[in-house]
Amino acid sequence: MKLFVGLGNPGASYAGNRHNIGFMAVERIATEHGFSGWRARFQGQVAEGMLGGEKVLLLKPATFMNLSGQSVGEAMRYLKLTPPDVIVFHDELDLAPGKCRLKQGGGHAGHNGLRSIHAHIGESYGRVRLGIGHPGHKDRVADYVLSDFAKADAVWREDMLAGIAEGAPALARGDGAGFLNTVAQRMAPPRPPKPPRAPKPADEAKSAPPTPSAPPAPEPAPKGALERLLERFKH
């Protein structure tokens, strides 16, 4: 069994925030893969379903971001899971908008939700880092992450969430490369093949078969002795 955790803040006023992209990711997975309805459990909201042959529990902590670890720790202990069975979807300031990366273990890089999870279950869980970009200065970070996505972000955000949902079965199976490839294809779909180039006039001239030349005129037959004698008398 896997525990997929989306990080965010509960309540309608936070629903469109950049900080809530983790919530958005697990909500899209639930919708696209026919998970059960959301219900209150483990100090949060949960939905159950199957991905890639694995039973998966989706969790949205309702403790607010800074206390996310309380909800994650309770769920993990009840389900008798280990940290590597847990994958957390969260916003990432250090990635450009639309970039998606995987990470197993390591530090929390100052992210308050991850900091709380570290305190409750350690650091060896998996993360899906969802790039939202950086506002440019650390003093602007709090307002930036707690602000709604700009309208211009709608296209890449939709593509990213669609790719996450499509690749979720691979992620549940442990195929991280397959998951990232699916997201990448959604973000930058393959270009259609170029149509064949129309031939230029010069190319047409080169490829045209050569025009046959006229056969040479036959040479006149040599004159006989009688004809030569008559010509002498003409002069």
Enzyme catalytic residues: 19
Nearest CA-CA partner of 8 in 18, 110, 16, 19? 19
Rounded Cα–Cα distance for residues 207 and 202 (Å): 9
Query: Which spans in 45-139 are helix H?
Result: 68-78, 112-121
Is the Cβ–Cβ distance between 28 and 164 less than 8 Å? Answer: yes
Could you give the angle at the alpha carbon of 170 between the alpha carbons of 165 and 175, nearest 5°? 140
Long-range contacts of 45-52 (CB under 8 A, 24+ apart): 46/75, 51/2, 51/168, 51/169, 51/171, 51/172, 51/173, 52/168, 52/169, 52/170, 52/171, 52/172, 52/173, 52/175
Strands (E), 53-140: 54-61, 86-92, 100-104, 126-131
Q: Which residues pair with 48 in a beta bridge?
A: 57
